[in-house]
Structure 1
Amino acid sequence: MKLVRFGEAGEEKPGVIDGKGRLRDLSDHVHDIAGGQLARLGEISRLDLDALPVVSEEVRYGPCVGGVGKFICIGLNYADHAAESGMALPEEPVIFAKYTSAICGPNDPILIPRGAEKVDWEVELGLVIGKPAKYVSEEDALDHLAGYCLINDVSERSYQLERAGQWSKGKSSDNFGPVGPWLVTPDEIADADALDMWLEVNGELMQEGTTATMVFKPAALISYLSQFFTLQPGDIISTGTPAGVGMGMAPQRFLRDGDVVTLGIEGLGEQRQLCVADA
């Protein structure tokens, strides 16, 4: 299934994309695509989608999962990105937090913060947890997965790397976490370890890669994180980005007011964001 949340920010309704690509309203069956509702995905899969109301008007897609408790990011999880960043390949996953206030819809604008100088892009595969995971083995890890999604891990590099403290303040500005458009259940993804991914700025290809080059794969990441804290339904893990970010270019290139970012991952849809100076 391709599950969505649609409507105005903060008032999103649950929906599903049918076999013909039409948006169907799930409001009569689930309250939201969030938290404990993710345990009911089996029930949703048994619904007759053709009997659900079609949403015919053009609507905004919100983040494909609501009520996110933890937004966990993995750094330097692609060898080529670690190299372009001038950092050593980690022996264990590098973990940092992206605060949930950064989460927005897949086509909402990227807000350029006041004083920002180095706003960057990162196309990433997202993992959405479907049931609690604590001390799980790598073999059992994917049993705790609700599905996959597309994420742009927007970053302000001067905040992240040139000012004191940890990475989170360079990763968590408002609208620095576009998520969606869809939460795609695992049955629709034949091999999450071999998905093509890409990102363009103003129509120019910047990133082109594949999840096959991830250092730590989804099952390994879920298992690893669950050794330190319980993963809860609705938690998101953003699994890292391949080479091609602005920070790694010579000369470096960063986002400015008016730029347009488009990105996608095979089977997970596409995003489009206009960059806008924050008021």
Structure 2
Amino acid sequence: MFESKNEFVIPSPPISSVAVAGTTARFPVRRIICVGRNYAAHAREMGRDPDREPPFFFLKPADTVVDDGATLPYPPETKNFHFEIELVVAIGKQGFDIPVESTLDHVYGYAVGIDLTRRDLQLQAREQGRPWDWGKGFDRSAPIAPIHPVDKVGHPQSGRIWLAVDGKLKQDSDIAKLIWPVRDIISIASRSMELKPGDLIMTGTPEGVGPVERGETLTGGVAGLGEIKIKIA
């Protein structure tokens, strides 16, 4: 058993975090849970039937988080680098096997995020029955705008979600179209692993995903939660 004050053999890595809107405070990130194919039209554009699939999850490391306004290098080992705009849920209360009717009590706030994806690596892994980690969990793959606490914005159930590349609209939908809404996502995820403060849930992306090239700027937003903007160098 370790003492409460450990001596580490290498320097401890910094805590990854996301800004909190309207404050100088930051939300420490424990891990990032992502929901796959949670809008019907996007599931179809990815060659899947949304009416037959239960929700499934994958993870991004906490240190993939990037602040709004960042300039990111085009990632290595890909020739098909994609954007996916998403509603992000920040968990503020611990819970395991949470009943649906209690799930929103565990939410600290909401934000806008982009799930950056090395699509060629993801699809290659999918075809070979391998994990998606190299396509989804690479460095700087989770830009997230400041979190808006629930006591400021409530629990958004509907509202526009959109993304543009150099001002050209690519994704344009409504979070009301989530196949599995936030209540269900939290409840289902909590059956497999205990959710804890600091967890982020990226709830899935609508149709219209596509490539972004060097020199292009991504802007996007969710109604009531502001916007996010990043540039690819």
Q: TM-score range by the shorter chain?
A: 0.7 to 0.9
Equivalence for 2:7: none
Structure 2, unmatched stretches of 5+, are 1-13
For residues 194-273 of structure 1, the aligned pairs below 5 Å read: 194-246=158-210, 254-273=211-230
Identity %: 31
Structure 1, unmatched stretches of 5+, are 1-8, 18-23, 26-31, 34-64, 247-253
Is the Cα–Cα contact under 8 Å of residues 111 and 176 in structure 1 kept in the other structure?
no
Higher RCO (C-alpha under 8 Å, 6+ residues apart): 2
Equivalence for 2:95: 133
| AA partner of residue 139 (structure 2) | D
Count of residues in correspondence between the two structures: 216
Deviations 1:219-251 (A, max 9, x none): 1111111111100101000000111111xxxxx
Task: Report the Cα distance in structure 1 between the residues aligned to 2:96 and 2:16, rounded to whole angstroms.
Answer: 32
CA-atom RMSD, angstroms?
2.1
Greater per-residue strand proportion? 2
Equivalence for 1:28: none
Task: Identify the match of residue 32 of structure 2 among 51, 68, 71.
Answer: 71
Instruction: State the secondary structure of the residue aligned to 1:221.
Output: helix
Deviations 1:162-205 (A, max 9, x none): 1452122111222110011x211223335522021110001100
Question: Does residue 173 of the first structure (1) align with residue 130 of the second (2)?
Answer: no
Q: State the TM-score, normalized to the length of structure 1.
A: 0.72
Relative to 1, partners in 2 of residues 1:226 and 1:196: Cα closer, same or farther, differing over 3 Å?
A: same
Deviation of 1:81 (Å): 0.3
Task: Report the Cα distance in structure 1 between the residues aligned to 2:163 and 2:219, rounded to whole angstroms.
Answer: 6
| AA partner of residue 120 (structure 1) | H
Is the Cα–Cα contact under 8 Å of residues 17 and 65 in structure 2 kept in the other structure?
no
| AA partner of residue 84 (structure 2) | E
Instruction: State the secondary structure of the residue aligned to 1:82.
Output: helix
Q: State the TM-score, normalized to the length of structure 2.
A: 0.86
Deviation of 1:103 (Å): 0.9
Task: Identify the match of residue 73 of structure 2 among 96, 111, 118.
Answer: 111
Relative to 1, partners in 2 of residues 1:157 and 1:270: Cα closer, same or farther, differing over 3 Å?
A: same
Relative to 1, partners in 2 of residues 1:11 and 1:75: Cα closer, same or farther, differing over 3 Å?
A: closer
Task: Report the Cα distance in structure 1 between the residues aligned to 2:36 and 2:16, rounded to whole angstroms.
Answer: 32
